Structure 1
Amino acid sequence: MKPSIAIITIGVDDLERAFSFYRALFDISDEQIGAGEDHVAFFFDDAFSFVLFPREQIAETAGKEVAVAGTPGFVLSHRASSPKEVDEILDKVLIAGGAIITGGTESEWGYSAYFEDSEGNVWELMATPPAN
């Protein structure tokens, strides 16, 4: 895998407070901000986004309990070229000593999977569907 960090997602305790902070900090137009009930995304360009996500949901995604030491405060996301590449990377993760959290799954966002490296850091692999 040649790393290509496309998204950095950080866990926050108060989504509104964190949004206010980063909105004031980043020089970004309203058109470059997307929000849902459980996240806020800042789209800097076609290749990089910064996402705020509730910490407890990051822990759930990683298969951890919030109170457990080592609960991740962020997720590194790698944009793969295809679902096949996502699955090939997952094979390498296992060989290298990592662990698969969730195997490849189709969703409205494309095809994605989550894994832990050998130190418990969480990665997302994603292959986004082609633009219409």
Structure 2
Amino acid sequence: MKPSISIITIGVDDLERAFAFYRALFDIADDQIGAGEDHVAFFFDDDFSFVLFPRDQIAATAGKPESLEGTPGFVLSHRAESAEEVDTILSRVLVAGGAIITPGTESEWGYSAYFEDSEGNVWELMATKSVVN
């Protein structure tokens, strides 16, 4: 994997408060912000987004029962070129000593998987619909 961090997702305790903070901090147009019930995304360009996500949901994504000390407070995301590349990277994760949290899964967004490195840091691998073969 040649790493390219496409998205940084950070865990927050109060989504509205965090959104207000980053909205005031970032010099970004309204049409570059996307929001859902459980997240807010700032789209800086085609290659990089910054996402706010509830900390307890990051814990669930990381396969933890709740947000406890040591639960990751962020997720690094790598955009792969295809679903096949996601699966290839997952096999390398195991060889390198990491663990697969969620195997490659098709969703409305494309194909994604989650893994943790040897220290428990969480990564998302994704091939969005626009790049899935």
After TM superposition, the score normalised by the length of structure 1 is 0.97
1:83 aligns with 2:83: yes
1:127 aligns with 2:112: no
Partner residue, 1:24: 24
- Return the letter of the residue paired with 2:93: V
Partner residue, 1:15: 15
Partner residue, 2:108: 108
What is the CA deviation profile of residues 31-66 of structure 1, one whole-angstrom value per residue up to 9, with x for unaligned ones? Answer: 000000000000000000000000000000001133
Partner residue, 1:72: 72
Partner residue, 1:98: 98
Between the aligned partners of 1:85 and 1:11, the Cα distance in structure 2 is 27
58-67 or 75-84, larger mean C-alpha shift = 58-67
- Return the letter of the residue paired with 1:68: L
Structure 2 unaligned regions, length at least 5? none
Aligned-residue sequence identity (percent) comes to 82
Between the aligned partners of 2:46 and 2:112, the Cα distance in structure 1 is 18
Between the aligned partners of 2:5 and 2:55, the Cα distance in structure 1 is 20
Q: CA RMSD in A?
A: 1.0
